[in-house]
Amino acid sequence: VKQLIQSKKHPYPDWAEGGSVPYAALCKTFELIDGTRKRLEITAHTSKFLQQVIRLSPHELVTVVHLMLNKLAADYMGIELGIGESLIMKAISESTGRTMDKLKAMQAKIGDLGMIAYQSRNAQPTLIKMQPLTVERIFKGLYRVATTKGDGTMSLKVAEIKKLLAACQGEEAKFLVRGLEGKLRLGLADQTVLQAVAQAAITREMEAKGKTPKATDLVAAENMLKEVFSGLPSYEVIIPKIIEHGIMNLKEHCTMQPGVPLKPMLAKPAKSISEVLDRFDNLKFTCEFKYDGERAQIHYVSTKAGEKEKFAVPGKDTKKGGGLTAIFSRNSEDLSTKYPDILAVLNNWVSESTTSFILDCETTAFDKDTGKLLPFQTLMTRKRKDVAIEDVKIKVCVYAFDLLFLNGEALVHKSLTERREAMKAAFNEVEGQFGFARHADVDQVDEIQSFLEESVKGQCEGLMVKMLNGEASHYTPSKRSQNWLKIKKDYLAGAGDSLDLVVLGAYHGKGKRTSVYGAFLLACYNPTAEKYETICNIGTGFSDEVLASLHEQLEPFIIPKPKPFYSHSTVAKDQPDVWFEPRVVWEVLCADLTLSPRYKAAADNVADPTGKGVSLRFPRYIREREDKKPDAATTARQVAEMYRAQESVGGKGKGGVDDD
Ligand code: ATP
């Protein structure tokens, strides 16, 4: 691997300095990555290619990195690929002249649409030599496909894909189509790309000075980028700063900024109060109500803010005079048009001296007449977009539990005690609009138990238990951390943790359920393999109305065959009647977890010699998780952790890996 990084030769076509990067060079790198499962080699191939990009076309590094991640912008911009199968098939048919019937027959045999596009494209005689594709051209085309709206959208999208396909050579069509589908399936994790960007940057900078980086230099560069990116997850902002100032000076030039959402810190489940006490072992901790609503990260810059707080947010218009207000979801989706009622009253609860902030909160449905909180299901009946304040029927109250940035300064490296004090000084509670999450800094089992009961009576899900002081209490974006534990009332009832699972298939109903689906096939997500791994069939917990509406909701996502990135038993009797595109996520409870040859969840992680996966016993539908995308579903690793934590398989119920 070291040799690979240091060798001057590279296998992809070279290009002119200052020119656009050939798409063929990126695809060659994809092929090399596709040819190995070794993480170090994948990083080395990525890093080597990126070095070449920094050397010859630094202005295109952002574009190349986005294409490697199969993204068109930072998450908060909400521009996504994931084009439906029928539309892609239509474009392949029209651009290669193969009939839909022929393509469907190929699909039944091969499955992978990328391969179908590649084979169909390469079987065509090439009469006119097309200009080689560049990454810039591909990026612009994909951007158009993803953002075209309004009348005739479908045919415009098909026309754009056709143009791109017609110019593809060799393997290009395969990766283009996989990208359009939303999954490149190269095993190129986001963290690997981040690591490779750091390696490429430091290598290039040191080579320019006639030096070769040592392993310690590579690690220092990776740590620097990881830290900066966790507070500012936007390559659009960070990469130009790397090129301008050098990677080791990044911290001085890039800090967290309102307008760019951070990936939130997440919690690990604890099954009992005694497990919490064991885990925190005499260290100071606090218990907070776990409100049952939607996570909301509120960003704010006042028009009175000082110079250092005035940021240009890429892709977003800030207000006249430099002000900004925005609300982001758990997935960094912009919820500002869902909650205009919150933004309208923000100034009531922001103190006079507060000029900018990033606040971590939960929005909770609230009954103004009784002053009581309402369940999550009520909140979910609100429209998701373009809400007019006068139409808002379900009122919400915001509960703040953490402050990440205040008046131009990041607070994530301060203790929770300090962050909480700063939060209480920067905001004022306003009944029915804004409050601080209720907390009790108690440490005796009976005190925690009664606080938990109080939280449940108050329509909360349970408690969040958090470390209060020292480094362990720092805010760690995007981590599912041992320093935040959640105790849900459901765990105490002995039902176990809930899982968020993706609906992949369904079975036609029988008896009085003949016109709807009677059961569904669910899967967890394995981000390393980029696969959905099946975990159970579920037919319990649905009312007749829910079943009827699910039938309608899922209809547009029907596909003729499972996607190649679905992992399920191949035995005929285990197959569902219909398959779906991976779009819908449900929260599910179960009695316990067991091994089964029918399902494939975490089969690699539990390393069962017979290839069995983990499956759920007695799964029960709780609700749809509209706020979670399919690749934010419970991971295969979490499933393996839950399986191992069961006493029946000899686990201790402790420890585990951070996998977010
Ligand atoms: P869950 O289904 O439990 O919400 P999750 O994966 O969305 O799972 P977790 O980290 O497991 O998130 O649980 C924390 C969630 O609980 C947060 O994302 C937030 O939405 C919510 N929450 C409510 N009250 C609090 C609080 N006081 N502190 C932190 N999170 C809270």
- The per-residue pLDDT for range 525-575, each reduced to its tens digit, is 999 888 999 999 999 888 888 999 999 999 999 998 899 899 999 999 999
Whether 98 is in the pocket of ligand 1, judged by its Cβ within 6 Å, is no
Which pLDDT band holds residue 510 (cuts at 50, 70, 90)? Answer: confident
Q: Which of 75-84, 310-319, 432-441, 587-596 has the highest mean pLDDT?
A: 432-441
- Which of 332, 460, 476, 486 should be mutated for ligand 1, with most atoms under 8 A from CB? 486
362 Cβ below 6 A of ligand 1: yes
> 464 in ligand 1 pocket by Cβ < 6 Å?
yes
- Measured in Å, residue 210 CA sits from the centre of ligand 1 at 50
Query: How many Å lie between the centroid of ligand 1 and the Cα of residue 266?
Result: 7
Q: How far is the CA of 294 from the centre of ligand 1 (A)?
A: 8
Which atom of ligand 1 is the closest one to the Cα of 627? 7
Atom 26, ligand 1: residue with shortest CA distance? 290
Cβ 291 under 6 angstroms from ligand 1: yes
Q: Which of 271, 291, 478, 641 to mutate to test the pocket of ligand 1 (most atoms within 8 A of CB)?
A: 291
Taking the centre of ligand 1 as the mean of its atom positions, its distance from the CA of residue 213, in whole angstroms, is: 42
Q: Is the CB of 217 under 6 A from ligand 1?
A: no
Output the DSSP codes for 165-183. HHT--TTHHHHHHHHHHT-
Helix (H, G, I), strand (E, B) or coil at 49: helix
Expressed in angstroms and rounded, the spacing between residue 267 Cα and the centre of ligand 1 is 7
Using a pLDDT cut of 70, give the percent of the chain over it: 94
Give yes or no for residue 263 CB within 6 A of ligand 1: no
Nearest CA to ligand 1 atom 17: 295
- Residue 420 alpha carbon to ligand 1 centre in Å: 18
- Of the listed ranges 392-401, 490-499, 647-656, the least confidently predicted one is 647-656
**pLDDT higher for 358 or 498?**
358
Give residue 391 CA to ligand 1 midpoint distance, Å. Answer: 28
Question: At residue 609, does pLDDT exceed 80?
Answer: no
- The β-bridge relationship of strands 499-508 and 395-406 is unpaired
CB-based contacts of 531, cutoff 8 Å, min separation 6: 185, 525, 565, 566, 567
Helix, strand, coil share (%) of the chain residues, nearest 5: 40, 20, 40
The finding on whether 360 has its CB within 6 A of some atom of ligand 1 is no
Q: Is the CB of 361 under 6 A from ligand 1?
A: no
pLDDT at 14: 79
pLDDT of residue 649: 46
The two three-digit tokens of residue 449, written as one number: 């138990």
- Residue whose CA lies nearest to ligand 1 atom number 4: 292
CA distance 590 to 535: 11
Is pLDDT at 320 greater than 70 in this prediction?
Answer: no
* Residue having the nearest C-alpha atom to atom 2 of ligand 1: 498
Q: Which residue has the higher pLDDT, 295 or 610?
A: 295
Task: Record the tokens describing residue 462, joined without a space.
Answer: 């349970």
CB of residue 601 inside a 6 A radius of ligand 1: no
Quick one: pLDDT at residue 651? 39
Ligand 1 lined by 440 (C-beta under 6 Å): no
Q: Any idea what DSSP says for residue 635?
A: B
- Please spell the DSSP secondary structure of 440-486, one letter per residue: E---SHHHHHHHHHHHHHTT--EEEEEE-SSGGGS--TT-EEEEEEE
Nearest C-alpha neighbor of 454 from the set 515, 333, 388, 373: 373
- Give bridge partners of residue 289 from the DSSP assignment: 463
Report strand pairing: 395-406 vs 434-436: parallel
Beta carbon of 310 within 6 Å of any ligand 1 atom = no
Give residue 268 CA to ligand 1 midpoint distance, Å: 10
Q: What band does 342 get if pLDDT is binned at 50, 70 and 90?
A: very high
Q: Distance, CA 438 to ligand 1 centroid (Å)?
A: 14
Question: Which pLDDT belongs to residue 477?
Answer: 95
CA distance 309 to 326: 15
Beta carbons of 177 and 114 less than 8 angstroms apart: yes
pLDDT of residue 110: 84
Q: How far apart are CA 185 and CA 178, in angstroms?
A: 8
Q: Which atom of ligand 1 is nearest to 295's Cα?
A: 20
pLDDT tens profile 222-273: 999 999 999 999 999 999 999 999 999 999 999 899 999 999 999 998 878 8
This model of the complex carries an ipTM of 0.96
Q: Which two tokens stand for residue 652?
A: 């201790």
Amino acid in the structure at residue 430 = V
Would you say residue 140 has pLDDT above 80?
Answer: yes
DSSP-derived secondary structure letter, 3? H
Of the candidates 83, 77, 76, the one whose C-alpha atom is nearest the C-alpha of residue 142 is 83
* 295 compared with 312, residue with greater pLDDT: 295
CA-nearest residue, atom 25 of ligand 1: 290
The catalytic site residues sit at 290
| 290 C-alpha to ligand 1 centroid (Å) | 7
| 276 CB-near residues (< 8 Å, 6+ apart) | 270, 285, 448, 465, 485, 487
Mean pLDDT (whole number) for 472-478: 95
- Residue located nearest, by CA, to atom 11 of ligand 1: 267
Q: Which of helix, strand or coil describes residue 368?
A: coil
C-alpha gyration radius of the chain: 26
In ligand 1, which atom is closest to the CA atom of 264? 18
Instruction: Give, using CA atoms, the residue closest to atom 18 of ligand 1.
Output: 295
Cα 485 to ligand 1 centroid, rounded to whole Å? 10
What kind and span of H or E run contains 85? helix 85-96
Question: Does residue 265's CB lie within 6 angstroms of at least one atom of ligand 1?
Answer: no
Which positions ≥6 away from 550 have C-beta within 8 Å? Answer: 516, 517, 520, 542
Positive or negative: CA dihedral 207, 208, 210, 211: negative
- CB count in 10 Å sphere of residue 467: 23
Could you read off the pLDDT of 24-39 as tens digits, one per residue? 999 999 999 998 888 8
Q: Whose CA is nearest to atom 24 of ligand 1?
A: 290
Q: Is the CB of 290 under 6 A from ligand 1?
A: yes
Distance of CA 230 to the CA centre of its chain: 14
Dihedral (Cα; 549, 551, 556, 561), 10-degree rounding: 150
What are the tens digits of pLDDT across the range 40-50?
889 999 999 99
In three-state secondary structure terms, 113 is helix
Residue 22 gets which letter from DSSP? Answer: B
Whether 632 is in the pocket of ligand 1, judged by its Cβ within 6 Å, is no
Confidence tier at 659 by pLDDT (50, 70, 90): very low
Question: What pLDDT is attached to residue 626?
Answer: 87
Q: Show Cβ contacts of residue 572 under 8 Å, excluding neighbours closer than 6 positions.
A: none
Q: Which atom of ligand 1 is nearest to the CA of 289?
A: 27
Tens of pLDDT, residues 624-654:
998 889 999 999 999 998 888 775 444 333 3
| 482 neighbors 283 (Cβ within 8 angstroms) | no
- Strand 462-467 and strand 285-290: the pairing is antiparallel
* pLDDT at 151 (0 to 100): 79
- Residue 267, strand partner residues: 481
Kindly tell me the burial class for residue 251, based on how many C-beta atoms sit within 10 Å of its own C-beta (0-12, 13-18, 19 or more). Answer: exposed
- β-pairing, 480-488 vs 578-580, is unpaired
Minimum-distance ligand 1 atom for the alpha carbon of 625 = 2
Query: Does the pLDDT at position 322 exceed 70?
Result: no
